[in-house]
Amino acid sequence: MSTREMINALLDSVPEYKMGYVLAYLQGLTADEEADNAYCEQLYQDYLNDPDPDKHQTISLEELCKREDVEL
């Protein structure tokens, strides 16, 4: 039995409610690395070209948790 055939046989035993996990994993395995890198580069360039003067302003994790009323 080939690897593909074994995978197909195992899929028949995966409960429907877990199929989303399988799909997400397979999508991650087949993702186009070059397209992902291009997308990340575009996000970075968008950030660099953002004219907002406060774009470099940061806050601590603790302050963010207080603002959002989340326990750290």
- Buried b / exposed e over 29-62, threshold 16 CB at 10 Å, is eeeeeeeeeeeeeeeeeeeeeeeeeeeeeeeeee
Domain ranges of the chain: 3-68
* Whether residue 34 has pLDDT greater than 90: no
Residue 46 parent element (H or E) = helix 33-49
pLDDT, position 40:
93
* Whether residue 27 has pLDDT greater than 90: no
pTM of the predicted model as reported, rounded to 2 decimal places: 0.45
